[in-house]
Amino acid sequence: MVNLRPRVFVTRRFFPEALEVLTDAVETEVWPHDDPPTPKQLLEKIDGADGVLTNIMDNVDANVLRTAHRLKVVSQLGVGVDNIDVAEATLRGVLVGNTPGVLAKATADIGFGLLMSAARRIGESDRWLRAGKWTMQYHPMVWLGAEVHGATLGIVGMGQIGLEMAKRALGFDMRVIYYSRTRKPDLEAEFGLEYFDPSDLLSTADFVSLHIPLTLETRHFIGERELRMMKPTSILVNVARGGVVDSQALYIALSEGWISGAALDVTDPEPILPDDPLLTLENLVITPHIGSASIASRRHTCLLAARNVVAGIQGRRLEACANPEVYAAKGI
């Protein structure tokens, strides 16, 4: 008998309980390797699929979407969908799901952890100690770092992750200033946040933390001009997308002391190349895009992504959708 169940391709292995959500409803194929499928392999696997569950390393471009004639839904493991041609998907009536909310707290934890590490030179001193350089010689002018308690944090992008970052900062009695495309007077009143335009934020903040999506408008939001606006004692934190910072300008800024330091969970490109000059800098803390990598956060993310792809195949509204205008065309 011919199997008429809808087919879903999953580009990585993930939590068994999330896989069960899929296998109960659809025919499921999971990519078995740790390395992602190549563009050619991804194209071959999506061709004939009704749904695909992706992550940020999978490039679902116009060519993939034009080839996948049966595709009804692309479900992303994550909030950002800059690896997906959402405009092309919308044109073709393909729903694009994402997973906002469930990873906000975990990502803010990493963001604040990176801030602390850069401020107090934790990564740098760890490497120094492991290299056998530590001696029991207290010196009042060695390993000086920036004070976090009572400092000013400037948040760019007051979405769910930005708000969680603000909450953590308030626990350290930090002054929190922010810029967001849409001003948030209710949050200002509730949490004592202060709205600044970008230039004033950059010149005022001791720490600048980025929480904006990567779009054509936000690419290199932080470049040479913006880095020169920042205090020479300030630290830049990026847990958004690598492309919102001009990497070459950041290298020069860190090398020449325009700013004191930086802490990145994201790079441009990803993965960062082994010979990237940023990796030679001691005043940079860097992690491999692990913002959402708590066990609970990843489990909830996988479950939501699985429910999204099943809903899209079954003609129901997704719990989180990046192109809800497709609903009207589909009569959902």
Beta-carbon neighbour count of residue 150 at 10 Å?
Answer: 10
The residue count for the chain: 332
| pLDDT at residue 134, rounded to an integer | 87
Q: What's the whole-number mean pLDDT along residues 4-20? A: 95
Q: Write down the pTM of the prediction.
A: 0.91
Task: Tell me the pLDDT band of 139, cut-offs 50, 70 and 90.
Answer: confident
The structure tokens listed for 244 are 């919102």
Strand 152-156, strand 73-76: pairing: unpaired
Domain at 7-102+295-330: CATH code:
3.40.50.720
Catalytic residue among 17, 20, 194, 270: 270
Taking the chain, what is the end-to-end CA distance rounded to the nearest angstrom? 31
Residue with tokens 């990564």: 123
Q: Is 289 a catalytic residue?
A: yes
* Mean of all residue pLDDT scores within the chain: 96
Catalytic residue among 121, 241, 300, 307: 241
Q: Is 241 a catalytic residue?
A: yes
| pLDDT at residue 1, rounded to an integer | 47
Structural contact between residues 205 and 152, judged by C-beta atoms closer than 8 angstroms: yes
In whole angstroms, give the CA distance from residue 75 to residue 78. Answer: 9
* Residues 67-115: tens digit of each pLDDT: 999 999 999 999 999 999 999 999 999 999 999 999 999 999 999 999 9
Structural contact between residues 176 and 166, judged by C-beta atoms closer than 8 angstroms: yes
Domain at 104-286: CATH code:
3.40.50.720
In whole angstroms, give the CA distance from residue 97 to residue 199. Answer: 34
- Omega into 269 within 30° of 0, i.e. cis? yes
Q: Do domains 7-102+295-330 and 104-286 have the same CATH topology?
A: yes
Residue spans per domain, the chain: 7-102+295-330, 104-286
Q: Is 127 a catalytic residue?
A: no
Q: In the predicted model, is pLDDT for residue 280 greater than 60? A: yes
Q: With H, G, I as helix, E, B as strand and everything else as coil, classify residue 56.
A: coil
Catalytic residue among 7, 168, 289, 298: 289
Give the chain's radius of gyration (CA, Å).
Answer: 22
Structural contact between residues 215 and 83, judged by C-beta atoms closer than 8 angstroms: no
Residue 284's DSSP bridge partners are 262
* Residues 194-239: tens digit of each pLDDT: 999 999 999 999 999 999 999 999 999 999 999 999 999 999 999 9
Q: What's the whole-number mean pLDDT along residues 174-199? A: 98
Q: Residue 265: left (phi > 0), alpha (psi -120 to 50), or beta? A: alpha
